[in-house]
Structure 1
């Protein structure tokens, strides 16, 4: 008896003793998965059945496991096939985890399974053909993985399947016709897969039970087959972002149950088919970004629509009056068409109109007074039309308005007092009209206003003191008006102000004191007014100011010396009454026209002073020149003598060591290791880092190479940050050679060879004349990088990383992707470099490998890597996303300006609070704003906090290719909705997000 008791105690906690067989299976599942958040920690109950465990649901009668829901628990590892041993398991969900490797064929042994959700994981390989053997399966969701290849032909044999969702994978076959055999199917979602170009199979018209068909961005071509008209139960049809053409078929008007039709961003032509009035259930119609012609039919406008998007087509004619009778319409976007005539008088009277965008058409007449009748109007966008008359007084009471763009029309009259003070408006644009009168004092109520754009109107009178109460104001542009009086003293309270442009007015008086509070001011243009007094010394403290134009005023006194501290792209103080000596840093030809028209101003620039001092100074010039010539000759002779001595010493030393070097080449070489060694001196150093120094070496053939010199032993510059088994390893050299020695890709830096000796190791690369992206982008030479160049760099780097992740076997994770590790050739082509901490991904299917120390650079490290040390491709994708944000914003990944935030958090916060204009790099021409916003969206996707939400690098390349500067395609939608950070250029048309 005592012996039995002892054995019982030694056996440890009696966990598995009291568990039934199903509990033992679930315990094995727990042990097979990585669980960093301890989501399964409660799976250790001593009950005989696991029915009380989190995520587990049992049948109330048999008490056997019926459902397993472990979604959003951050689990990692391969799919646990042992679940199929649970005989009554009908529901499995591992959605939004890191389930990896391939989906095993033996999943078909889960004979009772009805619901399988593995969406948003890291599964790869082909879709198992055995899935169709599950006799009771009704729901299959594999969205957001990396499945590739064809859809198996067995999928046409599903017996009970109602939902099939394969969105956001890498399926690259065709959309097969046999899917039309799944007669039970209610939802078919194949969106966002790189299928080969093909048409919509007519056989899909056999799915008479289908309610939802999403084939967005599936590389579809050709016309919509007439068989689609047989889908009488269809409620949602999304064929957007394809290359479909031809007319919209009349068969679509037979979809009597359809609620939502999205055909945007295709090449449909012609007009709307007759019979649109049959679609009595239609609430949303989006046929934007096509080539439709003709008029908007009256029968379309009589439908109970809530959202109508027809923008960017070639539609003509007027907007039917019947649109005003719609009682549910909240979104109407018609911008960039050729529509004419007046807007319906009752537009907005009967419907809760929320977003109205008719920009870039030829509408005329006055604004309907009833636009905000229901008090819901948020965006009123009407730029580039021929609208006229005053702003209706009723709009001055529209408290819901957030964005107003009435620019470039023919409006006139005074702006209603209430309109100035709308509390939620962030953008008020009245540019290019004939508005008159003054800015009302009621503007003090516009607490959310960030952009006040009043240029090129007939406004007059003083700028009210209340303007200084608008604490969120970032841009105040009022040039080409007749404003008079002095600038109100309160204007210096606008600490967020970035642009103040009031040139070509009648303003006078002195500039107010306290302008040093404009710490974010980037542009100050007060040219062609009547300002007097001195230029405030405080302007020299505005550290981010790069545009200063105070020309054609009556400023007097000296030019403040502090202006020399500014990094100005534009400086113009011409035609004032300035006097005294020109600050020495401005005595350059660059500023030749910046100071003309100031009779009392003296300096070395042509046209300043009258030359009184020239004769006196000529006597000293000859003497100074003689002294410098003699001193120069002595210096040159000394340098030559020292160089010859030093070279002889080095050559003698190297002759002793050359025999110790070993060369390993990876390409055919036109040089020897001795030629490299002869050129390694301090004069050739072009950079240094944690792993060693980099030299520029010009070979006798004229070819230029870069040489990285790493010291071995205990020197810190050669020690890798990777630690394994408690010992620091000098593995930078081995990692670079192992990785780059076998890689052949145009966007990966080429490793020519390596040279080794006992005390030193050399890596010889191709030379990149434009250095690193980080050094160039964040230096004074950043202006060399226009948007097309930045876009090309992003695409090149993405293709290089995609090669590492998807085309190398096994895949390679770089682990230190950053702008300083992206090098630029003479044409600004990008190469990914510095593989000193790169790692091969575990090829055994056991999930991300855990490292014992973080490798990477501050601001680029993915959040999950920082606290789990798990290495996979998603870590590189996050870092690449940060590089994309650098290219779009021009800002460093970590900057004191952000406070405790990094670049990712700063971008997200700024977008939410101030809008996209405050995120984009102001050094980039605004004509590229559309493409910059699209690439910004990709960067935000890559830096998603959850790894599973980040696209693969292969998908990143595809998305970048779709938004190239020559491609105006629209960004994809998630489940039929725009991505949260998608913006369109509102300077050229009326679309707004």
Structure 2
């Protein structure tokens, strides 16, 4: 009997009930909220937990040694009962909703070696007892809400190799005692709002350290010499701080270093002597500092994969030895004071992919061997003094995608094959002395979307083959010597948004077919020799807001159809037009638009020449005036009675017409009185946190949207967590922003009306309302995938304009689907700039705000706790909008529990696959495209700002999604993030 009982105890296969470790894990299960059923197979009827999801056991003893419940969407406090599993060495609860504080009792996990609680909701200070776990090697607490100081006890870890506290709320100073953890291989403290701290010299004692990541830690002072003792260091990242002084010479002792990131600081001086010691260096980025001097030749002899020293104050010449580096594929030196010639060997020995030396003082000819290896994609030489011709060899560089040669002294004919490079999507030759013709080989430029050749000496006719460049969006060829007829094939360019051919020698009549250019936003043909009638179909262009046909020989009447346009710039002066003006334009506001047309008549004084026309005409004029005056008296009388009645109603609504001031930002075809007459409840189309919105149909048939801001503080709105509750600030931000910017994907602010107690903003009317209202309503089915894709691209282009094309850049701060408006053809416009902020470039691209602005579900995690504003916050919000378009779901939904849309998508993808994420209303034939856009949304909404692409890159990636789009920057069919971008992505050169 004794032997039989002993046999039962030693035979786990014969145990008839769950063992003790299993019962402990059942307690863990009971303490967690498990909405996705990740713990559903944790069955208490099993004899052992070793086959349960996320559980691993020792093969010999059968005891639990590993628990991995990453990405399972579980929620609840950290279960200290896990520490009763005495052989447990590995715990990972990565990317869940583990909340509350981390208890001191965690030190009872004495055998724990690996603890990963990254991307959860843990709060409060760190427990000081963590250092009492004797065998802990890996501690990752990234992406939580820990606050306060790092405990002093953390300097006492015995075996810790990885300490990652990235993206929390630590607000003390960076402690020097971390330099006592002699076993450390990785120290990651980035993206915490530390108090201004110097890099502790004691970090030089961490001789085993391989990664030192201190990005955006509010570092001040100089880089300590002691860091030169880190002989094992592979990655040194001190970017986005306030470090000053010179780069210490001791940094040249880092013989193993592969990557050095020093960008966006205030470092000065030159490069230290001895850089040639860094034999393993592949990437060196010292951009956005105050460095000066020359680039040492020894730096050029390194096996660099990327050399980024842009936006500094470097002076001197570029040494020829840089051309001999065999691994150089990216050379970015823009915005410095470098001079001399580029080495002619550049590109001969290396697979050069990108070169940007814009805004320097380089001279001489463009090296002929830049594309010798056939890899060159980007050539940017903006604002230098290069001379000579474009090398013939570049005409055979089929890999080129972007060429920007603006503002140099280049001359001669452009190689014929250069016009037709198949992957080129941007060709900018503005402001040089190029001559010759536009080659017919341009027909081969299938991907060309931007062609900018203004300010040269190009001659001859525009070839008919330009109509084959179907992706062309912008064509600027003004200030040249182009002649001949405007080719009819231009009407085939359905994507064209800008056609600028002013100041040339074009002649003849305009071709028919303008009706097909539905995206044309700007048409400038001023100062040519064009003749014939102005095509009436120009008036049918839905988004045209810039029309200049002045200085030609157009004849006939001004087409009535032009009244349908909403124009920012309108100029038909100095032609041979005749007849009466269309009623909309027969007013003083448009007088300058028609000057210099001798036969053009209207009621505008001095528009038509008035000679001695005889006394009979004078009498006719008098009788006509008397008749008109009598009619006006009658109309005024009737109007007086009508207005008397209307004013009673308007006074009740707080509207007194006599006390309003109108400020316009465009030439208006209406007055403030027309707007005020429409502000009654019958015209109300919306109401929100900032005020009411009315639809106003004007006398000319045009509709506008009028936002009447609340007179007091903003009313509560549970759906909007905007905290800037001073109405003046919202009004001023909206007016200051929208009153100055012009873009087809930014909502147009016609004017504003102000009185002592009320403020009105008058916008273009968007018939389809907001994306949020349409997408999340019963009408959401009208948004098929092509429409949603178009909306995403349009909104991205508008946001990219704010970030990159406005100087200084503008951060919207409240990007959401309800602030993306849709016109009659579902074209998207970014709107609502009440909390927008201008970012001071001198201030290193970020600014701290005293309050949080934004809406629940859209606020970037780092913005919520640091209040630091930069473009990355908008990019996160836009990523949420993309996820809305793909999933059809709200950013916050009770179904998600404590998660938002971003976390729901991530967890659902991991557990159930992509089919459970995609909106079921979308046609499955678009699944491949939808998945690519989904990946872009996840990239934009990543938890770390540094990993989010710029909006300019987002636009490019979205354009690459469509099977008909140009294949730019794709590798192996997969979209890849880009973190280092050229001068055009910095705003000032765009």
Aligned to 2:967: none
1:979 is matched with which residue: 948, 954, 958?
948
1:616 is matched with which residue: 614, 620, 636?
620
Task: Supply the distance in 2 between the matched residues of 1:116 and 1:538 (Cα, whole angstroms).
Answer: 69
2:868 is matched with which residue: 947, 958, 962?
958
CA contact (8 A) 2:863 2:869 kept: no
Alignment of 1:516-555 (within 5 A): 516-555=515-554
Task: Supply the distance in 2 between the matched residues of 1:771 and 1:211 (Cα, whole angstroms).
Answer: 51
Alignment of 1:574-585 (within 5 A): 574-585=573-584
Which string of whole-angstrom CA distances, capped at 9 and with x for unpartnered residues, describes residues 232-278 of structure 1?
11111111111111111111111111111111111111111112122
Aligned to 2:24: 25
Task: Supply the distance in 2 between the matched residues of 1:345 and 1:639 (Cα, whole angstroms).
Answer: 78
Gap change, CA 1:430 and 1:644, over 3 Å in 2: closer
Gap change, CA 1:406 and 1:921, over 3 Å in 2: closer
Structure 1 unaligned regions, length at least 5: 1-15, 649-681, 697-703, 710-732, 750-766, 792-818, 831-856, 867-892, 965-970
2:725 is matched with which residue: 736, 748, 752?
748
Task: Supply the distance in 2 between the matched residues of 1:273 and 1:184 (Cα, whole angstroms).
Answer: 30
CA contact (8 A) 1:359 1:989 kept: no
Alpha-carbon offset, residue 645 of structure 1: 13
Gap change, CA 1:553 and 1:30, over 3 Å in 2: farther
The reply on whether 1:464 has 2:374 as its aligned counterpart is no
The reply on whether 1:625 has 2:580 as its aligned counterpart is no
CA contact (8 A) 1:421 1:445 kept: yes
Gap change, CA 1:861 and 1:130, over 3 Å in 2: farther
SS in 2 for 1:216: coil
Task: Supply the distance in 2 between the matched residues of 1:68 and 1:308 (Cα, whole angstroms).
Answer: 43
CA contact (8 A) 1:124 1:148 kept: yes
Aligned to 2:5: none
Aligned to 1:448: 447
Gap change, CA 1:57 and 1:442, over 3 Å in 2: farther
Alpha-carbon offset, residue 862 of structure 1: 14
Alpha-carbon offset, residue 346 of structure 1: 0.5
CA contact (8 A) 1:684 1:695 kept: no
The reply on whether 1:363 has 2:352 as its aligned counterpart is no
1:928 is matched with which residue: 807, 814, 824?
807
Aligned to 1:659: none
SS in 2 for 1:119: coil
Gap change, CA 1:520 and 1:230, over 3 Å in 2: same
Aligned to 1:810: none
Aligned to 1:884: none
Aligned to 1:664: none
Aligned to 1:402: 401
Alpha-carbon offset, residue 637 of structure 1: 7.0
Alpha-carbon offset, residue 985 of structure 1: 8.3
Alpha-carbon offset, residue 526 of structure 1: 0.7
Task: Supply the distance in 2 between the matched residues of 1:288 and 1:708 (Cα, whole angstroms).
Answer: 44
Task: Supply the distance in 2 between the matched residues of 1:266 and 1:45 (Cα, whole angstroms).
Answer: 57
Moved more, 369-378 or 682-691: 682-691
Task: Supply the distance in 2 between the matched residues of 1:367 and 1:211 (Cα, whole angstroms).
Answer: 41
Task: Supply the distance in 1 between the matched residues of 2:756 and 2:101 (Cα, whole angstroms).
Answer: 42
Alignment of 1:335-374 (within 5 A): 335-374=334-373
Alpha-carbon offset, residue 125 of structure 1: 1.7
Aligned to 1:35: 34
The reply on whether 1:326 has 2:325 as its aligned counterpart is yes
The reply on whether 1:784 has 2:761 as its aligned counterpart is no
Aligned to 1:393: 392
Alpha-carbon offset, residue 607 of structure 1: 2.9
Task: Supply the distance in 2 between the matched residues of 1:467 and 1:136 (Cα, whole angstroms).
Answer: 70
Gap change, CA 1:632 and 1:977, over 3 Å in 2: closer
Gap change, CA 1:25 and 1:824, over 3 Å in 2: farther
Alpha-carbon offset, residue 348 of structure 1: 0.7
Provide TM-score, normalisation by structure 1. Answer: 0.71
Alignment of 1:467-478 (within 5 A): 467-478=466-477
Gap change, CA 1:42 and 1:522, over 3 Å in 2: farther
Gap change, CA 1:343 and 1:708, over 3 Å in 2: closer
CA contact (8 A) 1:139 1:161 kept: yes
Alpha-carbon offset, residue 571 of structure 1: 0.5
SS in 2 for 1:95: coil
Task: Supply the distance in 2 between the matched residues of 1:945 and 1:162 (Cα, whole angstroms).
Answer: 39
Task: Supply the distance in 2 between the matched residues of 1:233 and 1:646 (Cα, whole angstroms).
Answer: 77
CA contact (8 A) 2:710 2:758 kept: no
SS in 1 for 2:136: coil
CA contact (8 A) 2:724 2:730 kept: no
Gap change, CA 1:581 and 1:303, over 3 Å in 2: same
Alpha-carbon offset, residue 785 of structure 1: 6.1
SS in 2 for 1:179: helix
Gap change, CA 1:53 and 1:538, over 3 Å in 2: farther
Task: Supply the distance in 2 between the matched residues of 1:829 and 1:127 (Cα, whole angstroms).
Answer: 49
Gap change, CA 1:441 and 1:47, over 3 Å in 2: farther
Alpha-carbon offset, residue 120 of structure 1: 1.9
Task: Supply the distance in 1 between the matched residues of 2:757 and 2:651 (Cα, whole angstroms).
Answer: 35
Gap change, CA 1:624 and 1:290, over 3 Å in 2: same
Structure 2 unaligned regions, length at least 5: 1-14, 653-678, 694-708, 761-768, 820-829, 831-845, 847-851, 875-939, 953-980
Task: Supply the distance in 2 between the matched residues of 1:531 and 1:258 (Cα, whole angstroms).
Answer: 64
Aligned to 1:285: 284
Aligned to 1:244: 243
Alignment of 1:609-758 (within 5 A): 609-610=608-609, 615-626=619-630, 628-629=632-633, 632=636, 636=640, 706=711, 747-748=724-725
Task: Supply the distance in 1 between the matched residues of 2:430 and 2:439 (Cα, whole angstroms).
Answer: 17
Which string of whole-angstrom CA distances, capped at 9 and with x for unpartnered residues, describes residues 24-83 of structure 1?
433443443333444334444854223233332222222222222222233333333333
Alignment of 1:34-53 (within 5 A): 34-44=33-43, 47-53=46-52
Moved more, 937-946 or 684-693: 937-946
Which string of whole-angstrom CA distances, capped at 9 and with x for unpartnered residues, describes residues 293-312 of structure 1?
11111111112211111111
Which string of whole-angstrom CA distances, capped at 9 and with x for unpartnered residues, describes residues 895-940 of structure 1?
99x865898x6575469xxxx7565459x99442645599999999
Task: Supply the distance in 1 between the matched residues of 2:646 and 2:510 (Cα, whole angstroms).
Answer: 59
CA contact (8 A) 2:405 2:430 kept: yes
Alpha-carbon offset, residue 514 of structure 1: 1.2
Task: Supply the distance in 1 between the matched residues of 2:217 and 2:649 (Cα, whole angstroms).
Answer: 70
Task: Supply the distance in 1 between the matched residues of 2:227 and 2:270 (Cα, whole angstroms).
Answer: 19
Alpha-carbon offset, residue 861 of structure 1: 9.2
Task: Supply the distance in 1 between the matched residues of 2:132 and 2:25 (Cα, whole angstroms).
Answer: 24
Provide TM-score, normalisation by structure 2. Answer: 0.72
CA contact (8 A) 1:246 1:267 kept: yes
The reply on whether 1:222 has 2:221 as its aligned counterpart is yes
CA contact (8 A) 2:26 2:44 kept: no
Task: Supply the distance in 1 between the matched residues of 2:294 and 2:865 (Cα, whole angstroms).
Answer: 38
Gap change, CA 1:354 and 1:645, over 3 Å in 2: closer
Q: How many residues align?
A: 794
Task: Supply the distance in 2 between the matched residues of 1:514 and 1:637 (Cα, whole angstroms).
Answer: 49
Aligned to 2:164: 165
Aligned to 2:304: 305
Gap change, CA 1:500 and 1:537, over 3 Å in 2: same
Gap change, CA 1:464 and 1:975, over 3 Å in 2: same
Aligned to 1:425: 424
SS in 2 for 1:293: strand
Which string of whole-angstrom CA distances, capped at 9 and with x for unpartnered residues, describes residues 668-704 of structure 1?
xxxxxxxxxxxxxx979996857999899xxxxxxx9
Task: Supply the distance in 2 between the matched residues of 1:64 and 1:828 (Cα, whole angstroms).
Answer: 72
CA contact (8 A) 1:985 1:992 kept: no
SS in 2 for 1:592: helix
Moved more, 635-644 or 115-124: 635-644
SS in 2 for 1:132: helix
